[in-house]
């Protein structure tokens, strides 16, 4: 069964059971407080839904929804060193269904089992994955000083196994007997988001892919060993949020417990396609066919395929390479892929990049068409970063060679090799290790943290306003025009565009934004047409003062990560905030109506005077009203 079929079966199954299917959120987390738990990317299927799992109503089209399902894009680098083994990848997809104070353990567990083992044929919404129930093993929470053993979940599983004549349901594995249900500690089977808020036990499902145990019950020790060597693979997880914590201690049960359940698509593909690793599934195989022509080892081929896949999705979601935050992760992935492919030498064949991106686009053409739509930008960004990396290797390797003459490379020296010469820390560690030289990684991390703090403070000063004399009527006109330009760029170039700074004088406006390739003449013309049309429409320019949380909900554009007060001014261009052409957090000043941008006699038009690159992935527009 291919990946597309698995996705569609999953969504149809839960839609038939009252779940509203929602779209995947971006890999890039929202900056709304409480939404992302302060991470750079969505690293779990439930992460974009944290506020709703914590009690916030999920409202859509005037209705409050309590059952949701989707396939969520995820990116996780915490176990990046494991990428290339049987099951680890940095980019992956999670199938998830959620109950927001609706159904609980019994429905969640029964539906999990029903979908995993259900018939391959039948009405849409009733088809399952056809897995053999006798090869399924499950874990539940063993209990501790904070919460008792999850006998409720264990008993539901016993009923299911007994009803379906699956041998071993009655065996108490906690007493050394062979069975199917294993009691595991909190580090394995407990979920919580920090020390406060909802939390609870979970139940995980594992499948015997190589059929090692021939469908028979096994002991706790056999399960632990099989899990360690990946003979049993986790294919599903049901989280039962039923308790509330305060200051790290459980204070009682929730009045409306919720369900977060998820299944890794890559692992399901591996299970259903009869292979023992995710890289031989249809999600990777076409990409591996390209990367194996360049990378020297099987692991390097897999790392190259995985990191290129992750890079493509990050770029399509608007991330660009840099030395901080999200951009640093993207840069690290691209350079780590290139380093592994050419063993740290300047031998990377750049002609392979469009071929790999094309292969990724074909794999995901139905589910994520943005990869194909933005292929040109993705190829350009990856290619430019690899070229910079090759130059960094040429400049940096001799300096790394000098540094390895010592027994240890200090954190400061390692950071200099990273920041001044662009050598990835992974490559510094790997090449140093070959010479028996260690690297002070803790010192490197301290230096990196200092650099990030300096970069952020500098950015706050650089992009605080960008205004000249606000008493000058032309400055006011250009300020409002900048808002029109910003929105027009989003409409022409896509939502990946992000404001990076602006500067306004009485003579012109200057606007910096994230975009990876030069704008075409047609794109520039289209932007001009949109701005001039909005000037011609004589739209009112309004301001509303509102609480920050409410302002964020309006979708008004603002600098992500910027520290705003409890109340913010939202300027919107149009008759209402809901239907406005443009809306942004802003301190003003602005014209009262866009018709003022046409000048005293109404003859001025907006013109792009120049469009150019000012940094890696950053473009600049200079424009005038004349």
Mean pLDDT by groups of 10 residues along the chain of 626 residues: 98 98 90 49 87 86 95 92 92 96 96 98 96 98 93 98 96 96 94 77 96 96 92 95 85 89 95 95 97 90 96 94 84 89 71 96 96 95 91 85 92 87 80 90 83 49 43 82 94 85 85 88 95 95 85 78 68 89 85 90 92 82 92
Task: Count the alpha carbons within 13 Å of 459 in the hemisphere toward its beta carbon.
Answer: 15
Domain membership of residue 466 (yes or no) is: no
Three-state DSSP string of 561-589: CCCCCCEEEEEEECCCCCCCCEEEECCCC
For residue 526, is the peptide bond before it cis, meaning its omega torsion is within 30 degrees of 0?
no
∠ CA 381-331-390 to the nearest 5 degrees? 75
Residue 536 covered by a domain? yes
Asked, for residue 467, whether it belongs to a domain, the answer is no
Last-in-domain residue among 419, 440, 461: 461
Distance, in Å, from the CA atom of 261 to the CA atom of 396, rounded to the nearest integer, reads 47
- Cα–Cα distances (Å) from 118 to 15, 121, 123, in that order, read 16, 9, 12
Please indicate, yes or no, whether residues 454 and 523 belong to a single structural domain of this protein. no
Same domain, 38 and 185: yes
358 in the same domain as 261: no
- Tell me the three state secondary structure of residue 277: coil
Give CA 3 to chain center in angstroms: 19
Burial 286-318 (b: 16+ CB within 10 A, else e): ebbebbbebbeeeebbbbbbbbbbbbbbbbbbb
My answer on whether 273 and 297 are in the same domain is no
Whole-number Å distance between alpha carbons of 8 and 23: 13
**Domain total for the chain?**
3
pLDDT of residue 464: 36
Which tokens sit at 319? 């991330």
Residues 275, 281 contacting (CB under 8 angstroms): yes
For the record, the structure tokens of 76 come out as: 């996780």
**438-439 and 408-409 strand pairing:** parallel
Report yes or no: 19 and 309 within 8 Å, Cβ to Cβ: no
- CATH number for the domain spanning 200: value is 3.30.930.10
Instruction: Quote the pLDDT of residue 573.
Output: 93
From 426, 461, 496, the end of a domain falls on: 461
CA distance 157 to 133: 12
115 and 204 in a single domain? The answer is: yes
Question: DSSP E strands: which ranges in 414-464?
Answer: 438-439
Please give the Cα distance from 626 to 624 (Å, whole number): 6
The span from the CA of 213 to the CA of 217, in Å, is 8
Residue count of the chain: 626
Tracing tokens 């032309």 back to the chain, one arrives at 474
**What domain range includes position 513?**
473-625
Q: Are residues 435 and 342 in the same domain?
A: yes
Phi, psi of 549 (to 5 degrees): -60, -40
Let me know whether 414 and 520 are in one domain: no
The kind and range of the H/E element at 74 are strand 67-75
Same domain, yes or no: 179 and 269: yes
CA 235 to chain centre: 21
Residues 6+ apart with CB under 8 A from 266: 87, 89, 92, 93, 278, 281, 283
Quote the tokens at residue 285: 């195989």
DSSP 404: T
> How far apart (Å, rounded) are the C-alpha atoms in residues 177 and 540?
75
pLDDT at position 202 is 96
Same domain, 174 and 48: yes
Listed residues 254, 280, 306: the one ending a domain: 280
> Who's near 118: CB < 8 A, 6+ residues apart?
13, 126, 127, 128, 129, 130
For residues 606 and 538, membership in a common domain is answered with yes
Alpha helices in 317-364 (DSSP H): 325-342, 352-363
pLDDT score of 558:
77
221 part of a folded domain = yes
Query: Are residue 103 and residue 83 in the same domain, yes or no?
Result: yes
Within-domain flag for 602: yes
Asked if residues 291 and 305 have their Cβ atoms less than 8 Å apart, the reply is yes
- Output the six-digit token pair for 459: 């950015």
Of residues 547, 541, 536, the one with CA closest to residue 595: 536
Does a structural domain hold residue 449? yes
Q: How far are the Cα atoms of 122, 486, 495, 530, 606 from residue 490, in angstroms, in the given order?
A: 44, 7, 5, 11, 17
Same domain, 512 and 442: no
CATH code where residue 518 lies:
3.30.980.10
Pair type for strands 438-439 and 499-504 = unpaired
- CB within 8 Å of 573: residues ≥ 6 apart: 480, 483, 484, 534, 539, 540, 541, 542, 580, 581, 582, 583, 594
Beta strands in 212-335 (DSSP E): 232-246, 249-264
8, burial (CB in 10 Å: exposed 0-12, middle 13-18, buried 19+): middle
CA–CA separation, 274 and 280 (whole Å): 9
Report strand pairing: 606-615 vs 582-585: unpaired
The answer to the question of residue 511 being in a domain is yes
End-to-end CA distance of the chain: 61
| Structural domain contains residue 468 | no
């Amino acid at each position: 069964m291919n990946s597309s079929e698995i996705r569609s079966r999953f969504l149809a199954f839960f839609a038939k059971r009252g779940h509203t299917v929602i779209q995947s959120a971006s890999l890039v987390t929202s900056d709304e407080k409480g939404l992302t738990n302060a991470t750079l990317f969505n690293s779990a299927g439930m992460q974009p839904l944290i506020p709703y799992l914590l009690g916030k109503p999920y409202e859509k089209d005037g209705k409050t929804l309590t059952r949701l399902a989707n396939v969520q894009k995820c990116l996780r680098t915490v176990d990046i060193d494991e990428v290339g083994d049987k099951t680890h990848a940095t980019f992956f997809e999670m199938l998830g269904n959620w109950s927001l104070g609706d159904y609980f353990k019994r429905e969640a567990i029964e539906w999990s089992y029903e979908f995993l083992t259900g018939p391959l044929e039948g009405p849409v919404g009733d088809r399952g994955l056809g897995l053999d129930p006798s090869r399924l093993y499950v874990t539940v929470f063993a209990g501790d000083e904070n919460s008792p053993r999850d006998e409720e979940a264990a008993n539901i599983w016993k009923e299911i196994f007994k009803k379906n004549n699956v041998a071993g349901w009655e065996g108490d594995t906690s007493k050394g007997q062979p069975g199917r249900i294993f009691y595991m500690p909190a580090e394995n089977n407990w979920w919580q988001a920090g020390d406060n808020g909802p939390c609870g036990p979970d139940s995980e499902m594992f499948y015997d892919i190589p059929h090692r145990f021939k469908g028979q019950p096994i002991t706790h020790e056999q399960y632990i060993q099989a899990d360690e060597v990946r003979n049993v693979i986790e294919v599903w997880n049901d989280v039962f949020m039923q308790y509330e914590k305060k200051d790290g201690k459980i204070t009682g049960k929730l009045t409306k417990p919720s369900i977060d359940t998820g299944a890794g698509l890559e692992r399901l593909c591996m299970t259903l396609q009869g292979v023992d690793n995710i890289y031989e599934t249809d999600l990777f195989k076409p990409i591996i066919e390209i990367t194996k022509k360049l990378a020297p080892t099987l692991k390097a081929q897999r790392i190259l395929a995985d990191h290129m896949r992750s890079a493509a999705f990050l770029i399509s979601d608007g991330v660009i390479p840099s030395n901080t935050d999200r951009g640093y992760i993207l840069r690290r992935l691209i350079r780590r892929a290139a380093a592994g492919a050419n063993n740290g030498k300047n031998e990377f064949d750049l002609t392979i990049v469009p071929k790999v991106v094309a292969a990724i686009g074909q794999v995901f053409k139905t589910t994520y068409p943005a990869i194909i739509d933005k292929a040109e930008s993705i190829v350009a960004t990856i290619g430019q970063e690899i070229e910079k990396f090759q130059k960094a290797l040429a400049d940096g390797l001799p300096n790394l060679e000098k540094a390895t003459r010592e027994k240890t490379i200090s954190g400061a020296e390692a950071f200099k090799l990273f920041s001044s010469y662009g050598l990835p820390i992974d490559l510094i560690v790997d090449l140093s290790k070959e010479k028996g030289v260690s690297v002070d990684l803790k010192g490197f991390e301290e230096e990196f943290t200092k650099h990030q703090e300096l970069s952020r403070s500098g950015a706050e000063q650089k992009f605080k306003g960008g205004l000249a004399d606000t008493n000058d009527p032309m400055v006011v006109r250009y300020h409002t025009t900048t808002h029109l330009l910003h929105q027009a760029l989003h409409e022409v170039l896509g939502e990946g565009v992000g404001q990076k700074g602006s500067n306004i004088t009485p003579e012109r406006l200057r606007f910096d934004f994230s975009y990876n390739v030069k704008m075409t003449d047609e794109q520039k013309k289209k932007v001009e047409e949109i701005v001039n049309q909005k000037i011609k429409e004589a739209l009112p320019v309004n301001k509303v003062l509102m609480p920050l949380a409410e302002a964020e909900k309006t979708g008004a554009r603002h600098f992500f990560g910027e520290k705003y007060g409890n109340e913010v001014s939202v300027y919107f261009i149009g008759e209402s905030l809901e239907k406005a052409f443009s809306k942004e957090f802003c301190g003003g000043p602005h014209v009262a109506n866009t018709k003022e941008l046409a000048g005293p006699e109404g003859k001025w038009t907006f013109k792009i005077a120049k469009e150019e690159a000012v940094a890696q992935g950053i473009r600049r527009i200079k424009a005038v009203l004349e």
